[in-house]
């Protein structure tokens, strides 16, 4: 028998419909790269990893980033891909298991773009050929480094400029997203989400520092938004009118956490409006903390609205938030050696949802610490303790 919902948690357990996809609650398993897919294909370990979280009561599972059907989409042999019949069959096992457990699952489609080389491990027979490929970068630039977790040595290795993307590169990467989106539908996914943040390929066209093109793909923010909008339009055509399409976006990049691609709500509206017109159903706003104000210099209540809140206001579409739920230490602080500690900020999540900041809340590290975190939240129980050294190790080590 299902336990009753604690009075302080009711907002988290209201159903939601997104383009015909029914979600039993507002909880999402956030995408987290685990590097646990041998040869780029999910197996029984991955199946159980995702299905266990669905069985624990989380309504929506979002996969780790899945490389699209392009040779430079991802740069590690243990990162999954969706690029042909074999990958469709492998992912079908995962989606069937999640559905059997009562959940819904989206494929997060990914091309790392300028950040090709950050993982740099290939076990496949074509390793030498792949290592000689140059990354897809709009203007050939890695991006000006700022506040980042990358080492100076890594930045020195990756930052030299390469040839800018050609028109053929642009056309082919757009087509690659569309092909993989169609494969995702064949694999049984309930929808797709595009990784359009963090300095990866889609985001690199939006960021003025990495997009200095003078053709139709560069210029002001409206022009720099044309490439991700073209990808959205191609994916929408590939998946049809009935399949949900989410879009993850961010202000920051991994090259510099202080980057802001939109300095005003009006600029953000230009960017997100183009994506909404192209076919996005929900905007997933990726921030370091879910409740950080997007434009804190604005006066009055506008200065407290989050990035997810502005996406919702500006487009009229539902939005999702992520970042630091149940965790008192940022990911950047953890990587610099600061011990992790929990912080029960669920009441703040509920309050933000009730005042209309966002419709979905994604939990990452809490899902690693406790697959049944949805049940814990439903009953307003104590949050699990996340221990990075135990819970954030590569998937295969964690599950073996």
Expressed in angstroms, the distance from the first to the final Cα of the chain is 31
**C-alpha dihedral sign at 146, 151, 157, 158:** negative
Q: Cα–Cα distance between 272 and 280 in angstroms, integer?
A: 9
Contacts of 4 (CB under 8 A, 6+ apart): none
Q: What are phi and psi of 126, to 5 degrees?
A: -95, 25
**C-alpha dihedral sign at 237, 242, 248, 249:** positive
Are 29 and 362 contacting, i.e. CB atoms less than 8 angstroms apart? Answer: yes
Are 147 and 110 contacting, i.e. CB atoms less than 8 angstroms apart? Answer: no
> What number of residues does the chain have?
400
3-state SS of the chain: helix, strand, coil percent to 5?
40, 15, 45
The pLDDT value recorded for residue 400 is 31
Cross-strand partners of 76: 121
Q: What are phi and psi of 271, to 5 degrees?
A: -65, -55
The pLDDT value recorded for residue 380 is 95
Are 311 and 285 contacting, i.e. CB atoms less than 8 angstroms apart? Answer: yes
Please count the other Cβ atoms lying within 10 Å of the Cβ belonging to residue 268: 24
Percentage of the chain beyond pLDDT 70 is 90
Q: Which residues are catalytic?
A: 200
Are 353 and 361 contacting, i.e. CB atoms less than 8 angstroms apart? Answer: yes
CB-based burial, 184-215: b 16+ in 10 Å, e otherwise: bbebbbbbbbbbbbbbbbbbbbbbebbbebee
Q: Cα–Cα distance between 150 and 373 in angstroms, integer?
A: 31
Cα-Cα-Cα-Cα dihedral of 367, 371, 377, 378, to 10°? 140
10 Å CB burial of residue 278 (0-12, 13-18, 19+) is: buried
Q: Cα–Cα distance between 369 and 386 in angstroms, integer?
A: 5
- Kindly state the helix (H) or strand (E) to which residue 17 belongs, with its residue range: strand 16-18
The pLDDT value recorded for residue 253 is 97
- Kindly state the helix (H) or strand (E) to which residue 109 belongs, with its residue range: strand 104-110
Residues 62-77 pLDDT 10s: 999 999 999 999 988 8
Helix (H, G, I), strand (E, B) or coil at 12: helix
Instruction: Give every residue of the chain whose pLDDT is below 70, as ranges.
Output: 1, 119-132, 329-341, 389-400
Q: Cα–Cα distance between 148 and 259 in angstroms, integer?
A: 11
Residues 348-375 pLDDT 10s: 999 999 999 999 999 999 999 999 999 9
Q: Cα–Cα distance between 257 and 380 in angstroms, integer?
A: 33
Are 205 and 164 contacting, i.e. CB atoms less than 8 angstroms apart? Answer: no
Q: How many angstroms from the chain centroid is the CA of residue 336?
A: 22
> Mind listing the domains of the chain with CATH numbers?
7-399 (3.20.20.70)
Q: Is the pTM of this model over 0.85?
A: yes
Q: Cα–Cα distance between 184 and 189 in angstroms, integer?
A: 6
């Amino acid at each position: 028998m299902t336990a009753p919902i604690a009075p302080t948690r009711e907002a988290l357990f209201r159903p939601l419909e997104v383009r015909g996809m029914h979600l039993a609650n507002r909880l999402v398993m956030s995408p987290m790269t685990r590097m646990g897919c041998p040869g780029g294909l999910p197996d029984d370990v991955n199946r159980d990893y995702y299905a266990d979280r669905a069985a624990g009561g989380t309504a929506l599972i979002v996969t780790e980033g899945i490389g699209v059907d392009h040779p430079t989409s991802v740069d590690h042999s243990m990162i999954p891909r969706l690029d042909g019949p074999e990958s469709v069959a492998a992912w079908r096992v995962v989606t069937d298991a999640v559905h059997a457990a009562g959940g819904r699952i989206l494929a997060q489609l990914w091309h790392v773009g300028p950040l090709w080389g950050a993982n740099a491990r290939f076990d496949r027979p074509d390793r030498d050929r792949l290592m000689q490929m140059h990354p897809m970068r709009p203007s050939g630039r890695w991006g000006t480094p700022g506040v980042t977790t990358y080492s100076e040595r890594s930045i020195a290795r990756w930052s030299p400029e390469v040839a800018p993307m050609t028109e053929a590169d642009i056309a082919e990467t757009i087509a690659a997203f569309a092909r993989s989106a169609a494969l995702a539908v064949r694999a049984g996914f309930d929808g797709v989400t595009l990784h359009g943040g963090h300095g990866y390929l889609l985001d690199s066209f939006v960021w003025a520092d990495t997009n200095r093109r003078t053709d139709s793909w560069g210029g002001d923010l409206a022009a720099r938004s044309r490439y991700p909008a073209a990808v959205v339009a191609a994916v929408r055509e590939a998946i049809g009118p009935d399949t949900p399409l989410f879009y993850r976006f961010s202000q920051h990049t991994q090259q510099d956490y202080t980057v802001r691609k939109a300095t005003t709500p009006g600029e953000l509206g230009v960017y997100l409006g183009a994506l909404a017109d192209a076919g996005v159903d929900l905007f997933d706003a990726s921030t370091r903390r879910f409740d950080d104000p997007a434009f804190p210099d604005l006066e009055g209540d506008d200065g407290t609205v989050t990035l997810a809140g502005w996406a919702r206001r500006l487009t009229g579409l539902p939005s999702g938030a992520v970042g630091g739920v149940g965790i008192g230490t940022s990911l950047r602080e953890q990587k610099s050696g600061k011990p992790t500690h929990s912080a029960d900020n669920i009441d703040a999540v509920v309050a933000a949802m009730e005042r209309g900041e966002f419709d979905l809340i994604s939990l990452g590290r809490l899902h690693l610490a406790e697959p049944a975190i949805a049940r814990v939240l439903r009953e307003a129980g104590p949050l699990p303790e996340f221990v990075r050294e135990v819970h954030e190790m590569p998937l295969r080590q964690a599950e073996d």
